C-alpha cells in the first residue's frame, strides 16, 4: 500500500508517517530527510542545497525528482511507501505519477492534514527546541508556510479530485489523527 501524507510544514506528517511505518511495515519517504542527509554527507547535491534549505526555500524539482527515483524503483520497498513531504509541486506530483506507473505501482491513499498557520507556528517553535533543527526559526516558518500556499496548494487541488483523497483536521491531537487515519485504512 502506497500512501501520501500531505499538508503544510508542521502539520504532523512526520509523526503520522512513523506510525504508519510501524503499523504497516512500510517505508517512510521524507524528502526533507533525504535532502538533510545529502547536506550531512557534504555531497555535491548537499553543497548546492544548503543555503536554500536553511532559508526555508524549496529545492528545485530536478534535484528532488532525481533523488526520489532510486527510492521508488527499489524492488525491496515496492508498494510499501509512506510519502511525507513529497510531492510538493505540480511537477513533482506528475513525476511521482510517472515513476509509479513505470514501476507498476499506484497511490492507494492520500491524507491531507489541514492545519492553520498559528497552530503550525506554535508546533514548529516547539520542535525547534526539541530537535534543534537550524531551519526552524520563525521567519523561516512563515516563509515555508507561504511557499506551501503558493506552490503546494495547486497540488492539493490536483489531488482533492482523486477518490483516494481524504482531508483530516491536523489541529487534532496526535492520537486522534492516528485513529482517523487507521479508520480510513481499516486497520
Ligand atoms: P521537511 O523536513 O519536509 O519539513 O522539509 C525541510 C526542507 O527541505 C523544506 O523547507 C525544503 O527546503 C526542503 N524540501 C523537502 N522536501 C521537498 C520537496 N519535495 N521539494 C522541494 N523542497 C523540499
Q: Ligand 1 — pocket residues by CB below 6 A?
A: 9, 31-32, 35, 52-53, 56-59, 64, 85-86, 88, 92, 144
Q: Is the dihedral of CA 144, 146, 151, 154 positive or negative?
A: positive
Percentage of the chain lying above the pLDDT 70 cut: 97
Percentage of the chain lying above the pLDDT 90 cut: 70
Distance 159 CA to ligand 1 centre (A): 19
Distance set, CA 76 to CA 5, 65, 133, 150 (Å): 21, 20, 31, 35
Q: pTM value?
A: 0.89
Local structure of 110: helix, strand or coil: strand
Query: What is the distance between the alpha carbons of residues 149 and 169, in angstroms, rounded to a whole number?
Result: 17
- Beta carbons within 10 angstroms of residue 78's beta carbon: 14
Distance 176 CA to ligand 1 centre (A): 26
In this prediction, residue 122 has a pLDDT band, given cuts at 50, 70 and 90, of confident
Q: What is the pLDDT of residue 9?
A: 83
Nearest CA to ligand 1 atom 8: 32
Query: What is the distance between the alpha carbons of residues 162 and 30, in angstroms, rounded to a whole number?
Result: 22
pLDDT in tens, 62-89: 999 999 999 999 999 999 999 999 999 9
Mean pLDDT within 49-62: 92
Distance 166 CA to ligand 1 centre (A): 22
pLDDT in tens, 124-182: 777 777 777 666 677 787 888 888 888 888 999 999 999 999 999 999 999 999 999 99
Q: What is the pLDDT of residue 17?
A: 97
Amino acid at each position: 500500500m502506497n500512501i501520501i501524507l500531505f499538508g503544510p510544514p508542521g502539520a504532523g506528517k512526520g509523526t503520522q508517517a512513523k506510525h504508519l511505518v510501524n503499523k504497516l511495515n512500510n517505508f517512510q519517504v521524507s524528502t526533507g530527510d533525504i535532502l538533510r542527509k545529502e547536506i550531512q554527507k557534504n555531497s555535491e547535491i548537499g553543497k548546492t542545497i544548503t543555503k536554500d534549505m536553511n532559508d526555508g526555500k524549496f529545492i528545485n524539482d530536478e534535484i528532488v525528482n532525481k533523488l526520489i527515483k532510486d527510492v521508488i524503483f527499489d524492488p525491496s520497498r515496492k508498494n510499501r511507501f509512506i510519502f511525507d513531504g513529497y510531492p510538493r509541486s505540480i511537477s513533482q506530483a506528475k513525476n511521482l505519477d510517472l515513476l509509479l506507473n513505470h514501476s507498476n505501482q499506484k497511490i492507494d491513499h492520500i491524507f491531507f492534514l489541514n492545519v492553520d498557520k498559528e497552530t503550525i507556528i506554535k508546533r514548529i517553535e516547539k520542535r525547534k527546541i526539541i530537535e534543534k533543527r537550524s531551519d526552524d526559526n520563525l521567519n523561516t516558518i512563515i516563509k515555508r508556510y507561504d511557499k506551501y500556499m503558493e506552490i503546494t496548494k495547486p497540488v492539493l487541488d490536483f489531488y482533492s479530485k482523486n477518490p483516494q483523497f481524504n482531508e483530516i483536521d491536523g489541529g487534532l491531537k496526535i492520537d486522534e489523527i492516528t485513529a482517523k487515519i487507521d479508520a480510513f485504512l481499516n486497520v
